[in-house]
């Protein structure tokens, strides 16, 4: 084993051993059983991108040479598409990652970076079957992609309904070397961010795979691109843990909140509306003075796309809640009297005095905070304090980061966020406040200089 691999090996070994002990202590199912039960639901994702290769004049047509093709297969995993003497060869560049099944009808979660800009996507199942996949939707900021394969009888992983800081978790991948264990350090679940932070070691062997609790339920997706301070890892929450955003369940309440109802298009309506086919969602009613009515949506409009994602039937409108939670607005492509139009749904932001963006703690200190959990307090050995969930200047200029714990403000133990808010309210330009910061093994006082 390479010397650099030893620390990672021992870290995973210790984490896995700790998880086994925790599972035994909590009388949970055997971890080996969880791994075995989950194996059939974890898949390999293969993305192919077509790239034209420019060759010098004297080498054109070389890809048709049988000797060249034999050696290219031996030493290169890319697939060569033979070209004529006058055309540049096309190389299918391969990218491979992990994924997992979250719905029996073929809904699969994987990393966005695995499939971005791919011309073809295939999913290899546990039994070595290869199925062509299409992209349902993506969330690049969370490195998340949702795929669909044409199969209605796949083994899906159960989705967790609750989450606890300090909970033991297990990260898996299609590769047997992808098993890694650890604990949940914190959760970040706001209007725009649905993530949790763990100390689990994530690499290419388990990136794109599921993060499971000791019941074998999916908490989140792994990504080797989502890093957090202090060597921690961020994970995108999946399914039932995201408020009103189950990835494969209908969301009629979301439509009611937006102020419209819709249905699938039957053959009769297709003829009456003079449609080329029966794809799309048919708008049946609009609530007066609703978001839908203010956007310009009308009865008998046919919704055919959300942003760039095609709407085949009303189940595809499930993503409306996701789009609006992430961006507060979404563009809908519609057909109205045979003419294609684009309208925008925008959810107005309420003037909430308790919104962190409206607090002096954010405006003057540049900090958004949350109370520390019991598990975090035990780890840091404190009875009070807060954790930074978002930072900007002047806090960032002082060296503070997301994930830092603040235990003391101006020689006073921090017992609540309200306490910091009251101090921040009276600050003026030129003032300095001192906070006691804990970041891993580092514990120190930091001064925040208040500016205009």
CA distance 42 to 407: 42
- Answer for the pair 118, 173: CB distance below 8 angstroms, yes or no: no
Residue 403 sits at φ, ψ, to 5 deg, of 100, -20
Q: Do the Cβ atoms of 295 and 346 come closer than 8 Å?
A: yes
Q: Profile the chain (452 residues) by mean pLDDT over runs of 10 residues.
A: 47 52 51 89 90 56 56 48 50 86 88 88 92 84 87 85 84 86 76 73 92 91 87 79 37 60 80 81 86 90 80 71 63 89 78 59 88 79 87 88 90 90 90 92 91 78
Residue 326 token pair: 């992430």
Give the pLDDT confidence score for residue 65 in this predicted structure: 60
Do 319 and 242 contact (CB within 8 A), yes or no? no
As to burial, measured by CB atoms within 10 angstroms (0-12 exposed, 13-18 middle, 19+ buried), residue 271 is exposed
pLDDT at 446: 93
- CATH architecture, domain defined by 252-346: Roll (2.30)
Neighbours of 73 (CB within 10 A): 12
Tell me if 252-346 shares its fold with 356-449: yes
Q: Crossing angle of helices 31-38/5-25, nearest 10°?
A: 110
Q: Where are the domains of the chain?
A: 5-39+168-241, 42-149, 252-346, 356-449
42-149 domain in CATH 2.60.120.10? no
How many CB atoms sit inside 10 A of residue 151's CB? Answer: 14
> Is 5-39+168-241 a domain of CATH 3.40.50.10790?
no
pLDDT at 67: 55
Tell me which of 3.90.1170.30, 3.40.50.1360, 3.90.1150.10, 2.30.42.10 is the CATH number of domain 356-449.
Answer: 2.30.42.10
């Amino acid at each position: 084993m390479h010397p650099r691999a030893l620390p990672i090996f021992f870290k995973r070994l210790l984490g896995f051993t700790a998880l086994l002990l925790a599972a035994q202590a909590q009388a949970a199912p055997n971890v080996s059983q969880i791994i075995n039960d989950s194996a059939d639901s974890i898949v390999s994702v293969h993305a192919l991108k077509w790239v034209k290769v420019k060759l010098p004049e004297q080498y054109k047509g070389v890809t048709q040479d049988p000797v060249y093709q034999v050696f290219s297969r031996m030493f290169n995993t890319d697939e060569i598409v033979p070209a004529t003497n006058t055309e540049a060869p096309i190389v299918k560049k391969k990218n491979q990652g992990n994924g997992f099944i979250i719905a029996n009808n073929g809904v699969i979660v994987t990393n966005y970076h695995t499939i971005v800009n791919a011309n073809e996507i295939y999913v290899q199942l546990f039994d070595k079957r290869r199925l062509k996949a299409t992209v349902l939707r993506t969330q690049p900021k969370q490195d998340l992609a949702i795929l669909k394969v044409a199969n209605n009888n796949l083994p899906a992983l159960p989705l967790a309904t609750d989450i606890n800081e300090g909970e033991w978790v297990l990260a898996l991948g299609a590769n047997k070397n992808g098993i890694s264990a650890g604990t949940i350090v914190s959760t970040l679940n706001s209007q725009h961010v649905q993530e949790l932070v763990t100390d689990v070691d994530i690499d290419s062997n388990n990136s794109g795979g599921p993060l499971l609790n000791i019941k074998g339920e999916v908490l989140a997706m792994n990504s080797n691109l989502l890093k957090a301070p202090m060597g921690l890892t961020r994970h995108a929450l999946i399914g039932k843990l995201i408020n009103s955003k189950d990835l494969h369940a209908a969301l009629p309440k979301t439509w009611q909140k937006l102020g419209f109802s819709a249905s699938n298009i039957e053959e009769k309506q297709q003829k009456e509306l003079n449609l080329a086919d029966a794809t799309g969602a048919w708008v049946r009613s609009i609530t007066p003075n609703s978001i839908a009515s203010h956007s310009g949506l009308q009865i008998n409009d046919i919704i055919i796309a959300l942003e760039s994602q095609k709407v085949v039937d009303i189940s595809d409108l499930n993503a409306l809640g996701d789009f609006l939670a992430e961006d507060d607005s979404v563009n809908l492509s519609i057909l109205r009297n045979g003419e294609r139009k684009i309208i925008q749904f925008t959810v107005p932001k309420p003037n909430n005095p308790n919104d962190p963006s409206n607090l002096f703690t954010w405006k003057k200190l540049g900090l958004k905070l949350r109370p520390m959990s019991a598990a975090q307090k035990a780890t840091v050995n404190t009875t009070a304090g807060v954790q930074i969930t978002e930072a900007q200047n002047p806090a960032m200029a002082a060296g503070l980061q997301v994930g830092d714990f603040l235990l003391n403000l101006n020689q006073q133990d921090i017992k609540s966020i309200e306490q910091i808010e009251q101090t921040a309210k009276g600050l003026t330009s030129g003032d300095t406040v001192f906070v006691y910061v804990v970041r891993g093994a580092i514990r120190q006082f930091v001064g925040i200089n208040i500016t205009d």
